[in-house]
Amino acid sequence: MAITHTLAEPTWWRIFSRNRASVAGAVVLVALFALAIFAPVFLRFEPGRINVGPSMAPPGLIHLMGTDELGRDVFSRATAGLSVSLMVGFGAATISTFLGIVVGGLAGFFGRRTDALLMRLTEVFQVIPRFFLAVLLVAFFGASILNILVTIAVLSWPEIARLVRGEFLSLRSRQFVDAARVAGASRMSLIFVEILPNALGPVVVNATLMVGQAMLLEAGLSYLGLGDPTKASLGQMLQEAQQIMRSAWWTTAFPGLLIFLCVLSLNLVGDGLTDILNPRSRER
Amino acid sequence: MPTASLLLYVGGRLAQAVPILFIIILINFALIHAAPGDPVDFLIGATEATPEYIESLRREFGLDQPLWVQLATYLSKIVQFDLGYSLRFREPVLSLILSRMPATLLLMGTALLFSSAVGILLGVIAARRPYSAGDYAATFVSLAGYSMPVFWLGQIMLIVFALHMAWFPTQGMYSLRAPSQGFGRILDVAHHLVLPAITYSFYHLALIYRLTRVKMQEVMALDFITTARAKGVAEGRVVYRHALRNAILPVVTVIGLNFGFMLAGSVLTETVFAWPGMGRLLYEAIGARDYPVLMGLFVVLSVMVICANVLTDVTYALIDPRVVYR
Amino acid sequence: MSEPLLSAKNLVTRLFTDSGTVLAVDGVSLHVGHGEAVALVGESGCGKSMTALSLMRLVRKPGRIISGEVTFEGRNLLSLSEREMRDVRGGRLAMVFQDPMTFLNPLMRVGEQIMEAVLLHQRLGRSAARLAALEALERVGIPAAKNVMDYFPHQLSGGMRQRVLIAMAISSKPAMLIADEPTTALDVTIQAQIMRLLAQLRRELSSSMLLITHDLGLVAEYCDRVYVMYAGRIVEEGDVFGVFANPRHPYTRALLRSTLSPDRRIQKLSSIEGQPPNLIMPPPGCRFHPRCGEKLPKCAVDAPPDFALAPGVGARCWLYEGNGHAAAP
């Protein structure tokens, strides 16, 4: 059985809940998820439908977040955009984490050639400005949700791979691995059962923070006009708001606020998780 | 400081940059051919072009030749600083980009200096007073700072400070009515610079603040601080002369590593405030699907990031003698 | 000559940590006379370093000096203002630390670091200070001192770095030097060199030394008097010959038994049974009693006072209740 915690450790919930900000972040995150998933059921107005109300109406009882210049209800569009943004964020983070774990684990475990290759790759990715490469990729390959998601994932995995590789390198020479190897464990078993669970701690933290980064990246791309025109995301709403925000502040304030809350809560949760899952940071 | 070994170090770093440059150019090349559509389209952009022009491009880039010949052609053009021609702007791409560079450098430079200086200072102050109310507030504000999309912050700042309070102009780098020379001009530009620079600094300031604070706390717990105190050094000097120098090393590294990200922020900020720099050019090029400009910007911006990295390494080497002296 | 140079009375320092309050220095009294070399001996974690830091008022959060008196050259150090204390630190009262690699600023040249000490305590201009620093380096036996002035710590070997630390400490010709495990981080061969250097400097400067160490060999060779510390308290004091020849406290005896010496043929290595005590919740009564081979029933209940057995000789143990009279609790 993989050795992950010693007996005297407080349970993860207790540590997490000691950090009240993280708990608040988690609550907000859950609320936002709920909003994205359930609001469409209760929406009075169809998200993209124009002229459901007066044009450029300030927030009120009927239109909680006001309307834009085409008479679209901002609240409906924002919740729809929220689900798009969340989907891209989590999707990209998941894919890149998965890729990163696989590549990083292989490099860290097998070492030498695979490792050298991986390090070169991550170095290159570190120097090339990711945002502009993303702009280029999306501009060339077309602005669809899938493209954006894949682009972000492709640009983010080297960072995770590097982290995983680092963890693997330090863990594979630890004694419990030797013990398992002596006991006859196969290579696959060593990787997946012994080392990986212990390496995952920092990876989970990083992945959480990465969701936020992915969301900001997607929002940035959409803001510049590279969003999927068929599925308005929050970034795109901000782009449209650029022209009319002088007279209609609500068209920018609310969509942006939603992005902000998502990323903030993700960062808070990530910070809280660091305390639990990152043993090095616990010695304060 | 033996300049010989320092120069060698710089030379080494620059040499390392060359293969990366090659890869960047390769990426551009690959994209032209890998993306769906006729490569020629990517060499023109979405603007209307005459058949003669299309033909001339085909010949110039050798689009009917084998790939590696095309790559060689492409490379040779870049080496001669020919980044293509923009039909939309009616200008060679490189000169177009270079004309926009000063504005971006002004904005970035101001923001970087401001946010680094203030971030470090606040970080040092906070490290001496951990867990105070001010510390918690500052930590939270900085966390908010780097959770915010910079363009949203820009829009809010614009609405509040430029539209409602009318303290600052809403866009551009200078007013048409302002003097075009001399001190009046400088003031005018500075006036326009404030909002975009502050918006843009926020993220970086938050990052530097958090990092400095953590690193200072770490360094202040190290042994040589005790030695300094045992010598009778006053606390102020201990903090600024002994601790800060050591804590600042990782901060310098982060500033450098973050440069690419900062550049991205510059793009977004320039778009919000219509600041006539390279970022705004990118936005315009995206709208017009002007691929030559996009590719050219990618090359130029990447070069800037590489230069920034080398500069960071050199600065680090200047501060930390262990790098060069070994 | 009768008035000691440094005298500490009932010094109490505590550490307020998340796990509890550590009674690091629990009523320590000691004194060092002019020109004397006194040792403070004990296991790791017994509070000797904390005592040294307390004497210099270098205790930081979460630690705090709670009570007691530290008299140095006639002044109570604990009642001085921070500025006055800074004058004393590094000037009349200097300290040498244990691990020269971590105790030197890696980004500052060695010469600069010594000059800093000189400029703080002597009225000299920069060039004169530079000369003084150079002189200090030469004094501690560093070859090619002029070049070494411009070196960074990482360019020197361990022994050289320790000499630099010593140079920093003696640069202002202190009346007393506190050396906290000055040789622990060094090779055995270098250890001897450094100790000889310290002894020589002591003679040249006529200064006193408080040597903090767990190495009894060093104590025997270089010190005049010794204090034995256990769990935050002094359990035995006396002149070196006396204590080594005739140790009074059971802990001292066990300590001496467990060290190797070419003079004695030992068939088995003996060690002191049990674990060093937890200073957050020390054992009741005498702190050594759980590990003591000669304990009496009252040892588990009452903490013994320090019994003075002769001038300058004492033991904190109930075994001596009849022999001496209780000096201090």
B231: chain C residues, CB-CB within 8 Å: 89-90, 94, 116-117, 120, 168
- Per-residue model confidence (pLDDT) at position A8: 43
* CB-based contact C58 B223, cutoff 8 Å: no
Dmax over Cα atoms in chain A, in whole Å? 74
Q: Which two tokens stand for residue B285?
A: 């090029």
Is the peptide bond prior to C174 cis by the omega test (within 30 degrees of 0)? no
- pTM for the model stands at 0.80
Asked if C106 has any chain B CB less than 8 Å from its own CB, the reply is yes
C81 contacts on B by Cβ (under 8 Å): none
* Residue of B227, B232, B325 with shortest CB distance to C86: B232
- B66-101 pLDDT tens trace: 777 777 877 888 778 877 777 777 888 888 889 999
Q: What is the pLDDT of residue C95?
A: 92
Chain B interface mutation, best of C49, C96, C105, highest count of B Cβ atoms under 10 Å = C105
Q: Do B231 and C58 touch (CB under 8 A)?
A: no
Please report the pLDDT score of residue A281 as a whole number: 44
Compute CA B145 distance to the chain's CA centroid, rounded to the nearest angstrom. 18
For chain C, the chains sharing at least 3 beta-carbon pairs closer than 8 angstroms are B
Partner residue opposite A252 with nearest CB, options B42, B152, B263: B152
Strand order in the sheet with C325-328: C93-96, C176-180, C208-213, C37-41, C225-230, C233-239, C313-315, C306-310, C325-328
**Interface mutation vs chain A, best among B152, B278, B313, most A CBs within 10 Å:** B152
Encode pLDDT of C306-319 as tens digits: 888 888 788 888 88
Domain residue spans of chain C: 6-306
Residues in chain A with CB shorter than 8 Å from the CB of B28 are 136
Residue of C nearest to B237 (CA): C116
Chain A residue numbers with beta carbons less than 8 Å from the beta carbon of B291 are: 139-140
> How far is residue C53's CA from residue C13's CA, in Å, rounded to a whole number?
10
Interchain contact C165–B (C-beta under 8 A): yes
| Local confidence band at C185 (pLDDT 50, 70, 90 cut-offs) | confident
| Residue C134 near residue C149, CB atoms below 8 Å | yes
**Structure tokens, B243:** 């601790």
Interface contact B149-A260, CB threshold 8 A: yes
Q: What are the pLDDT digits (tens) for B112-155?
A: 999 999 999 988 988 887 777 777 788 888 888 888 899 999 88
Of B222, B227, B234, the CB nearest to C86: B234
d(CA C232, CA C10) in angstroms, rounded, equals 11
**Mutation target vs B (from C108, C112, C152; most B CBs, 10 A cutoff):** C108
CA pair distance B147, B31, nearest whole angstrom:
32
Where do runs of H (alpha helix) occur along chain B?
A: 3-34, 39-44, 51-60, 67-79, 93-128, 133-145, 150-157, 182-220, 223-231, 235-237, 244-257, 259-273, 278-287, 291-319, 321-325
Q: Do A136 and B294 touch (CB under 8 A)?
A: yes
CATH node for C6-306 = 3.40.50.300
Q: Angle of helix B244-257 relative to helix B93-128, nearest 10 degrees? A: 150
Burial per residue of A121-154, b for 16 or more beta-carbon CB atoms within 10 angstroms, e otherwise: bbeebbbbbbbbbbbbbbbbbebebebbbbbbbb
Q: Determine the pLDDT at residue B117.
A: 92
Test mutation, B29, B42, B151, chain A, max A CBs within 10 A: B151
Residue in B with minimal Cα distance to C150: B1
Give the model's pLDDT for residue A284: 33
**pLDDT at B255 (0 to 100):** 86
In angstroms, the separation between the Cα of residue B253 and the nearest Cα of chain C is 16
Q: Do residues A75 and A65 make contact, with C-beta atoms less than 8 angstroms apart?
A: yes
- Give CA–CA dist A245/B171, Å, rounded: 14
Query: How far away is chain B from the Cα of C300, in angstroms, using its nearest Cα?
Result: 38
Other residues' Cβ atoms within 10 Å of the Cβ of residue C282: 17
Among left, alpha and beta (phi > 0; psi -120 to 50; other), residue B60 is alpha
* Burial category of C32 from C-beta neighbours within 10 Å (exposed 0-12, middle 13-18, buried 19 and up): buried
Q: Which residues of chain B have pLDDT under 70?
A: 1-3, 45-47, 176-178, 324-326
Nearest to B305 among A127, A139, A141 (CB): A127
Specify the pairing of strand C176-180 against strand C93-96: parallel
Considering CB atoms only, which of B149, B156, B294 is closest to A139?
A: B294
Q: What is the b/e burial string over A181-207, where b = at least 16 CB atoms within 10 angstroms of the residue's CB? A: eeeeeeeeebbeebbbebbbbbbbbbb
Distance (Å, whole) CA C54 – CA A192:
52
* Residues on chain C touching B226 (C-beta within 8 angstroms): 53, 58, 97, 103
A263 and B155 within 8 Å at the Cβ level: the answer is no
Distance from CA of B183 to the nearest CA of A (A): 31
Residues of chain A contacting B, Cβ within 8 Å: 21, 124, 126-133, 135-137, 139-142, 212, 216, 219-220, 223-226, 235, 238, 241-242, 245-246, 249, 252-253, 256, 259-260, 263-264, 266-268, 271
Across the interface, whether the CB atoms of A220 and B291 are under 8 A apart is answered no
Considering only CB atoms, A132 lies closest to which of B148, B298, B306, namely B298
Predicted pLDDT at A95: 92
Other Cβ atoms closer than 10 A to B326:
8
**Is the distance from CB of B106 to CB of B200 less than 8 angstroms?**
no
User: What is chain A's alpha carbon radius of gyration, rounded to the nearest angstrom?
Assistant: 22
Look at residue A260 in the predicted model and tell me its pLDDT: 93
State the smallest CA–CA distance between residue B305 and chain A in angstroms: 7
CA pair distance A169, A105, nearest whole angstrom: 9
- Please list every residue in chain A whose beta carbon sits closer than 8 Å to the beta carbon of residue B159: 245-246, 249, 252-253
Chain C contact set for B234 (CB, 8 A): 86
Query: Nearest-5° angle of CA C291, CA C296, CA C300?
Result: 65
Q: Work out the angle at residue C163's Cα, subtended by the Cα atoms of residues C157 and C169, and round it to the nearest 5 degrees.
A: 145
- CA pair distance A70, A231, nearest whole angstrom: 17
Closest Cα in chain B, distance from residue A194 (Å): 32
pLDDT at A282: 40
Q: Is C295 left (phi over 0), alpha (psi -120 to 50) or beta?
A: beta
DSSP H helical ranges for chain A: 12-18, 20-42, 74-110, 113-127, 130-141, 145-172, 175-182, 187-189, 196-221, 234-244, 250-277, 279-282
pLDDT at C324: 55
pLDDT tens by residue, chain A, 284 residues: 343 333 444 555 555 555 777 888 888 888 888 888 887 777 777 777 777 777 777 887 777 788 877 778 888 888 888 988 999 999 999 999 988 888 877 777 676 777 777 777 777 777 788 888 898 888 888 888 888 888 888 888 888 888 887 777 777 777 777 777 777 777 666 666 767 777 777 888 888 888 998 999 999 999 998 888 888 788 888 888 888 888 888 888 888 999 999 999 998 888 888 777 665 544 33
What burial class does residue C109 get, using C-beta atoms within 10 Å of its C-beta: 0-12 exposed, 13-18 middle, 19+ buried?
Answer: middle
Residue of B nearest to C155 (CA): B326
Q: Which of C58, C105, C154 sits opposite B224 (nearest CB)?
A: C105
Q: How far is A273 from chain B (nearest CA, A)?
A: 16
Minimum Cα–Cα distance from B224: chain C residue: C103
Predicted confidence (pLDDT) at residue C164 exceeds the cutoff of 50: yes
What whole-number distance in Å separates Cα of residue A138 and Cα of residue A153?
Answer: 13
Sheet architecture: strand order including C63-72: C20-32, C6-17, C63-72, C75-76
Instruction: Say if the Cβ atoms of A132 and B301 lie within 8 Å.
Output: yes
Largest Cα span, chain B: 81
Q: Please report residues of B whose CB lies closer than 8 A to that of C154.
A: 322, 325
Confidence at residue C54, expressed as pLDDT on a 0 to 100 scale: 92
- How high is the pLDDT of residue A266? 92
Which of B223, B228, B233 is facing C99, going by the closest CB pair? B223
Nearest CB to B268: which of A127, A220, A245?
A220
Q: Nearest residue on chain A to B282, judged by CA atoms?
A: A224
Residues of B in contact with C106 (CB under 8 A): 224, 246, 322
- Residues whose CB is less than 8 angstroms from the CB of residue A277 and which lie 6 or more positions away in sequence, other chains included: A200, A201, A202, A204, A205
Indicate whether C39 pLDDT > 90. yes
Judged by CB atoms closer than 8 Å, whether chains meet at A249 and B286 is answered as: no
Place of tokens 């900020």: B269
List chains adjacent to chain A, taking adjacency as at least 3 C-beta pairs closer than 8 Å: B
Q: Which among C144, C148, C172, C180 is positioned nearest to C161, based on CA atoms?
A: C148
Q: What is the pLDDT of residue B325?
A: 64
Nearest residue on chain C to B319, alpha-carbon basis:
C107
